[in-house]
Each structure stands twice: as structure tokens, then as C-alpha cells.
Amino acid sequence: MSLTPVLARGSAALLGAATLGGAAVTAYAVRETRQFVLRRVEVPLLPPGADPLRVLHLSDVHMTPRQQRKQEWLAGLATLRPDLVVDTGDNLAHQGAVPYVTDALGPLLDVPGVFVHGSNDYFEPRLRNPIRYVLPDDGTRHTDVPQLPWRDLSATFTEHGWLDLTNARGRLEVAGLDLAFVGVDDPHLEYDDLAAVAGPADPRADVRLAVAHAPYLRVLDQFAADGHDAILAGHTHGGQVCLPGGRALTTNCDLEPARARGLHRHPAASDPGDAGSAWLHVSAGVGTSPFAQVRTSCRPEATLLTLVPRPH
């Protein structure tokens, strides 16, 4: 008997199994983009004796009009009653997204807040080879596409009293605390103007917070050296497609994958008490590009940071 038909049937079976397996993985990865989670993190950086301060960190919403489940989940975050909202950009992914972002945030816009923009607030998303995301960055930036209505988004936020930290400093009094802020425009597009915000953080403030969309090392280094207590960023999507256990393979910037999401120190090797060291919180974000709606071992998230007094 010839083995050719047997081998052919075996190859077809293997191919079919691989196809089914790939389809199952893809289906799970798509499903995970809708498994939203709220992270809770405690950060010891308030003056001794201060009451805890609740900070809601939002990033990378990547909103489109038809994402009703995401909109409903975001709207539910208002029940957390945070003292401050920090939005680290990439809210938009569609020309008509601004009113949907506004409606989803709802009462959160009446809470004191600060914001910066990311590259996907500025430029319309386009279909690209998803494999390029896990390859080394070649410096190519796709700015040859229509702009998104980021000016309308800025106007909406500022009309509600949020501080625009686009290459700027700002100040807010929140829950009886004096908060000093600094922020830069998107470092991924090299829009950050570090010279405009350089200089020591104000020692008279109770808390000194720095904000950027993409956590590039040049930005983190300056903010830490200038004495800011904590840095908040997004952009990485936590690696988006991670190994089991959440190990990121890439950050889409020069931050190492081990710090793709969560609370860390910067510089990474510093002792928490070292001068020139800051807390760093990187959000894995709420959304993805509409052309890469997959996540594995990296659920979409927002984070409630509870700031508490430093140890004596």
C-alpha cells in the first residue's frame, strides 16, 4: 500500500488542527480586549499626616463610536469618586470619537484633572503590518494621514477645568494638598520640548507629579533628575501581546519590557530613598488600535492610585 495518501491525510489533519488552534488563540485575544479591569495601587509619596489621595490614571482609550461596552465601563469609573484624574493620552481612534469620549467620562470631567496627548490623538489610524509592532523601532512615524480632532478634545477638557500639560507646568489644589505638575507633548512623535519644562520641581508643593504619553528614557531621566515625586505614562499597552503571566515582549519605545506596565522606580536600579529617583506608573491602557484589536495576557485597564504618606 502506498504511504502517500496516509501522509497526505496526516498533513491535512495537522494543518486543520493548527488552523483551529490559531483561530482559538485569535478569538481569545480579541475577547480579552473587552475584559476590562481596574487596578489598585498604593504609592507612598504624601507628606506625613496627609489623608490619602485617590488618583485615577486613564490612558490609551483609543475610542471609536461603536465601542459601547468600553464606553459603559469607562462611565462606571465615576463611582470610584477619585480626587484627581490623570489622562496620559491616545483617547481618540476615529474622526467622530470626541463626543463618545466626553460622554463616557461623564462626571469624571467635573473632577480636577490633567492631560497630555499621544500620537493617536493627532493622526488617524491606518491598517499596517501588525508584526512591525514587535520589531525594533525604525523611527518611522505615519503622519501622512488626516489629523484627528484633538483640538476639540483639548477644548472639552480645558472647558471642564482640566490642566493641559502639553510642554507645560501647572498647579492644582486638591483635597487640601498643593499639587505641582509638569508634562510634555508626545515623545513618540518627538513633540516633547524638555527644555521648556526643565528645572527643579517646586519644593514647596506637597506633591510633584510629571506626565507624559510615551515613557521614553530621555523624558523619565529628566523628570526624575528634576525631583518630581512620580511620573505617569501610557503608550506601551503593557506589551499588548504578552507571554503567559503577562511578560511583555515590547514597549514600542526604549523603556525595557520589564517595566511595560505597573508601578516601578526610575532610574530602575535606584533605591526608593535615593535622590534623583521617582516612582513610575505605566498604564497598560484601556484600548487598542482599531486595526489591532487583540490582547493576550494583558487585559485593558485603568488604575486607581492611592497616594499615602511617605514612611518617616
**Consecutive H or E run containing 161:** none
User: Order of strands across the sheet with 177-183?
Assistant: 168-174, 177-183, 207-211, 230-233, 278-282, 262-266
Q: Which residue in 252, 249, 236 sits closest to 133, CA to CA?
A: 252
- Whether 290 and 62 have beta carbons less than 8 Å apart is answered as yes
- The domain segmentation of the chain, as residue ranges, is 8-309
A 10 A CB-CB count for 99 gives 13
pLDDT in tens, the chain (312 residues): 555 555 455 555 444 443 444 444 455 567 899 899 999 999 999 999 999 999 999 999 999 999 999 999 999 999 999 999 999 999 999 999 999 999 999 999 999 999 999 999 999 998 876 666 666 666 777 788 999 999 999 999 999 999 999 999 999 999 999 999 999 999 999 999 999 999 999 999 999 999 999 999 999 999 999 999 999 999 999 999 999 999 999 999 999 999 999 999 999 866 655 667 999 999 999 999 999 899 999 999 999 999 999 987
- Whether 179 and 46 have beta carbons less than 8 Å apart is answered as no
- Is the dihedral angle over the CA atoms 28, 30, 35, 40 positive or is it negative? positive
Looking at residue 224, the DSSP 8-state letter turns out to be H
Residues 131/252/40/310 CA torsion (nearest 10 deg)? 160
pTM above the 0.85 mark? yes
Q: Which CATH code is given to the segment(s) 8-309?
A: 3.60.21
